[in-house]
Structure 1
């Protein structure tokens, strides 16, 4: 579970946004992790039965997404090798977009609410940058 302080490690996120993100993240993260673990386990089982399958790339992508989500949860995510570890709204939104969200998933609502909040934050940031350009 992430904390407001972990999210505030990103200097571009104010206290109010950090509180909203922390609440939404803590509601969505366990479900996202569970979903990815279930999908990865299922794909590994399929790969064991069908070794010539092309699911290896999907497994790797899902494992990388799960790793990124864990780093975001801990506030240690690094968008690039030179950036400090922190919670990153763009990185979180990108990881969420890579989730395999089956229709009717019991975790969908929490994930979509989090994605909407992150998307709104990124849109506001882009508008502010455009206004200052």
Structure 2
């Protein structure tokens, strides 16, 4: 069974379709891919924190839609306990030496991709640095 990891941008595009028009083809493709295949879907909890705090906190109706979406049996929410300390160290180190836009959530996702036990086959992200990292780890990017 293949495993798909969903980044925050997927949730934003899915629940803000009117504002994320350029991403809707990808959202539709991924939704179809998930619905029509026997894939396990990994949802890193930090992506939910990021999405809920930034985009969904005041949209009551969409909160119910999210609850319905997250209740799908294929979805597995992954806590960041095994990844966060190492990700935080990398985040602080990189932030100290670069001016790039670095996200702690992205660092957690990178740790998850590197985890051979989790086995990520596909990542859905709109973040270019995550795309590049995933490709370097032989993970398919959507």
Q: Under a length normalisation based on structure 2, what TM-score does the superposition of the two structures give?
A: 0.29
Higher helix share: 1
Bigger CA radius of gyration: 1
Higher strand share: 2
Q: Under a length normalisation based on structure 1, what TM-score does the superposition of the two structures give?
A: 0.30
